[in-house]
Amino acid sequence: MAKTLPFYVVILAAVSHSCYGTILAPEDYEWRPIFVDSEVVIGGPFGENFIWQFETQEDRILAFSILDGNIKDAQEFLSIRDGADIYSPKVQLENDDIIQLSRKGLPETLYSTTSKATVQFSKTPISHLKLRIQKAANCSYNIKPETQCGRMVDEVSCYCALFDNKNQPDQTMSCLDSGMKLVSFESKEEEELIQRTWSTQIPFWTSLTDTRRDGSWLWESTMTLLSNGNYTNWFPGRPLTQESDQFNCMLYGGSTYLTFWGDVNCSSLANAICEAQP
């Protein structure tokens, strides 16, 4: 017969807000898990055998980090289980290949493999502890042959390079088949981090296209229209502005455009960058 242990789920009674979002204080005990829509932070004081359950949307995972501290040191006081109860396996670090490709300097983070996780405190922390729980995109290294993935921009999104020459529509489908989208660059920092990871020696497709309406460039992955004030990085003289041109898709890299954006025929062959956001 399986052992039955007292099981307490801590639910917020006092709520405060900080630059990290909502901070939950352990005061009441209920049996209802906490849903993580974006992020929450739990702050002590914590006693022994405090147990928290967390869940997020089914196609996402949970990311755990310590504010102003180290997740490895915190594991002296708590265990994070990869599932809905305290008997689930412990949450592990991500694949070594993912860690190696991911940007150095990101907060040390543990990731569940499912949308649910359980946190149990084994003893009272010796100092005030804040545990940050975020909704994250899964980052699977071998989604396809000749693929590399990592967390370049932050600890919750995922980017993958597909080293397989295809046209832009086919690369769009390759990303979708893997539960991702063809990349959309929303900032200079995002683009530079991606380019730094996989260089610009070969061309990569993005989701920017004006196939729907000539001259109106749209990030198809986010359905965001490129307009005045948006970040752009066009090669000098691009995009071409004559009516009915056949250069309707944007890529970057290669010997022609280097670190800049170039408009080319969508049937051209290039590699691709996929992304998944939380």
Which of residues 136, 158, 191 is at a domain's end? 136
Residue-level pLDDT at 6: 35
Co-location of 265 and 156 in the same domain:
yes
Residue 183 has a CB neighbour count (10 Å cut-off) of 25
Tell me the HSE value of 73 on the side-chain side, using a 13 A CA sphere: 11
Please give the span between the terminal C-alpha atoms of the chain, in angstroms, as a whole number.
Answer: 40
Residue-level pLDDT at 180: 95
Question: For residues 145-154, b (16+ Cβ closer than 10 Å) or e, as one string?
Answer: eebbbbbbbb
* Domain hosting residue 66, numbered range: 9-136
Distance (Å, whole) CA 82 – CA 115: 9
Would you say residue 142 lies in a domain? no
Residue-level pLDDT at 22: 58
Q: CATH number, domain at 81?
A: 2.60.120.290
Which of residues 114, 136, 158 is at a domain's end? 136
- Domain count across the chain: 2
Tell me the HSE value of 184 on the side-chain side, using a 13 A CA sphere: 19
What is the pLDDT averaged over residues 115-135? 88
Co-location of 24 and 85 in the same domain:
yes
pLDDT tens for each residue of 127-177: 778 899 999 999 987 677 789 999 999 999 999 999 999 999 999 999 999
pLDDT tens for each residue of 8-28: 333 333 334 444 555 565 554
Co-location of 82 and 194 in the same domain:
no
Predicted TM-score (pTM) of the model is 0.88
What is the pLDDT averaged over residues 193-222? 96
